[in-house]
Amino acid sequence: MLTKYGMNQWLPTAVILWPVAAACAWLAQGGQPIWWIPCALLLLIWLAFAAFFRDPPRRPSANNPTDFLSPADGTISAVIRVAHHDATNGPALVIRIFLSVLDVHINRAAYDGTVVGLRHQPGRYLDARMSAGARVNENLLLTLRLDDGRMYGIRQISGAIARRIICRVKIGQRLNRGQRYGMIQFGSTTELILPQPECATSLVQEGSRVYAGRTAIARLSAPGSTK
């Protein structure tokens, strides 16, 4: 299945390449087998391009419904605690995920919550693998309010190749755990930001492989409770 978030890219490409490939196949069947080569190349190019917009169905692999799911496919590039973050209006646990161009780029909600903030920040387009990119690259911070009143955030960060952030939500909208809400085109970084780091436990470490809407990556205990 191809995502609706990339329809403006993969559909026009198909409209252009498929008829050309069909014409090459017609010429090849008409006694000019050399035309099978451009036909095959065009189909491979489109399949490689369309693969970036794939949107596989996902179910949580963890049985604990209180765990926060990964908001993106990729590899954990950092697990850090910061003294202040705008998403939580205080100290936070930040789990950073690097997405290569080969990863599924659909972003999903990590936990049930109501959208209370959307902040787009223009910036640079450094390589997503560079730690500096998380600080200075173009990004969009989505802030959600949990049922207990605490806030958590998901930040979509562009990269050297990624130049378009898509976030199809509105203030006041309710997102469910694992629900699709946007994507980044193409390689990029996504961060999960949790409040009260003394209550937050990371279930992953740097180098862990995670999948959006399926891999449990963090747990947030109630204030005053033991982890």
pLDDT digits (tens, 9 = 90+) for 188-222: 899 999 998 889 999 999 999 999 999 999 999 88
CA distance 201 to 219: 5
Give 136-142's long-range contacts (Cβ < 8 A, gap of 24+): 137/189, 138/165, 139/165, 140/165, 140/167, 141/86, 141/87, 141/117, 142/115, 142/117, 142/118, 142/167, 142/169, 142/181
Residues labelled catalytic: 188
pLDDT tens digits for range 70-120 = 999 999 999 999 999 999 999 999 999 999 888 999 999 999 999 999 999
> What one-letter code names the amino acid at 133?
G
